[in-house]
Amino acid sequence: MFNPRVAILLLVLALPAHAATLFVSPDGTASDGHSWETAFPTIGEAIVASTTGDEVWIRSATYIENVIVEKPLTLLGGFSGIEGPGERDLRNPNRNLTMIDGDRNNISVVTIRSTTVTLNGIVIQNGLSNVGSGLRIIESSVILLESQIRKNGIVDNAYIAGGIRVENSQCRITGCVINHNSASGGGGISSIGSKINLTHSVFSDNVANLGGAIAIGPRDSFEIDSCSFTRNTARYKYPQSGYIGFGGQGGAFYANTTGGKSNVKVLNSKFTTNTLTDVGSGSVFYGTGQFSAEFDQCTCIVGSHTTGFSLGGDFPAPVLKNCIVVSEPNGSSTPIWMDDAIVSHSLVEGGYPGEGNIDADPKFVDISGGDYHLQRGSPCIDSGTDTGVMVDFDGNPRPVGDYDMGAYEFPYLRSDLNGDGAVGPDDLLIFQQDWGKVSGD
């Protein structure tokens, strides 16, 4: 006869063990890793001792090591070393920096292979490897939160992906800073066969021959929302005797999708003074191969004496909706260097064919100071079309009235002259009082 107590026992045995919390601190005794006092002194030791689903709490310090993760784990930085059980949320990654330093020893600082991992509040720095100097993700699912990838790689023919390399994986990156990385291809990120979601992150001061910030490969899918790309550079490599020079393409984005179609969609994002050195094209985007690329509600300040959007041949043209594309202050550029881009309801310096496009001063609050919010009276206000985007770069609701152009929605209705959030009698009174006046009177 069937015994229900046996069934219950079998069920309990089949359930996974409760995930443990392991501690890492340079001052730990390494006896069992179950407290700050008995913590493992290195991250690698904690990973070896861990089991599936464990959390690794890492005290603020610089850990000079190379970490390999091949089991499902969560690695958390930002701890001061006094947090007890249940005080996980007291950590502060911005104040308590937790740094994994690769010491530039020809291997990725962190390698994640064939598993599922969350990295939260970690700084990955000083890596040097032929592929993925900072973080290399291989056939895995990774969430990267509130982390910084910095000072990895070198601009050299043999080095791919200074900051992050993603291969046949899924990766979600939120609230991160990826800066001062360098490589031959993909200073910040290089990928192939992967699905990547980027939100509320900053790419700055990355350098590569191809794709200063991001190099998109075959069979990739990128979704980017509310990110900032600034001062990333595509550097032209001059030829040595008997060789052909190359590079200088894609200050922010470089897409070479030969071998498989890729998709890129960018929303609510800013591109400011991304550059090309000496020669090249596409300081915002350069594409070759089969891809679809769409930019909605973006503000693009094109570096002087460069082109903003460019293609490397007869390839699909990008789509721009509700965008602003202009030169940097006191500079001149060619915002869109192609004849067949699909551009609508956008402000393009010098003009560009398409429904609802305009050529005018966008009237930023302070373009020289880097404030790209719209002033009252900007021609970009209420001049966009419905993109379905519900918030702007700051997280404020849109549309207010009709859609605006650019990454920022003007927060008041155009006729809300007193700024109280509604159009009413007071606004009409202001209008009547100013009727017929000239600015400066």
Tens of pLDDT, residues 91-111: 999 999 999 999 999 999 999
More confident residue, 390 or 14: 390
Residue 128 CA, chain-centre distance (Å), reads: 21
CA separation for the pair 202, 234 (Å, rounded): 17
More confident residue, 354 or 238: 354
Question: In this predicted model, what pLDDT tens digit does every residue of 165-208 receive, in sequence order?
Answer: 999 999 999 999 999 999 999 999 999 999 999 999 999 999 99
SS3 for 63? strand
Q: Count the Cβ atoms, other than its own, within 10 Å of residue 397.
A: 10
Predicted local distance difference test score (pLDDT) of residue 386: 96
Q: Flag the least confident range among 208-217, 255-264, 404-413, 424-433.
A: 424-433
Check: CB of residue 364 under 8 Å from CB of residue 372. Answer: yes
Of the ranges 123-137, 152-166, 317-331, the best mean pLDDT one: 123-137
Predicted local distance difference test score (pLDDT) of residue 5: 42
SS3 for 303? coil
More confident residue, 404 or 339: 404
pLDDT over threshold 90, residue 242: no
Q: Count the Cβ atoms, other than its own, within 10 Å of residue 363.
A: 15
Predicted local distance difference test score (pLDDT) of residue 243: 45
CA separation for the pair 327, 330 (Å, rounded): 8
Predicted local distance difference test score (pLDDT) of residue 15: 37
Question: In this predicted model, what pLDDT tens digit does every residue of 52-97 receive, in sequence order?
Answer: 999 999 999 999 999 999 999 999 999 999 999 889 999 999 999 9
Check: CB of residue 68 under 8 Å from CB of residue 55. Answer: no
Task: Specify the DSSP class assigned to residue 194.
Answer: -
Q: Tokens 């007291």 belong to which residue? A: 90
Q: How far apart are the two ends of the chain, measured CA to CA in Å?
A: 100
Predicted local distance difference test score (pLDDT) of residue 289: 87
Check: CB of residue 198 under 8 Å from CB of residue 173. Answer: yes
**Which pLDDT band, with edges at 50, 70 and 90, does 428 fall under?**
low
**Which pLDDT band, with edges at 50, 70 and 90, does 247 fall under?**
low
Q: What percent of the chain lies above the pLDDT cut of 90? A: 73
Q: What is the mean pLDDT of residues 212-216?
A: 96
Q: What is the mean pLDDT of residues 157-162?
A: 86
| Structure tokens that stand for 14 in this block | 């089949």
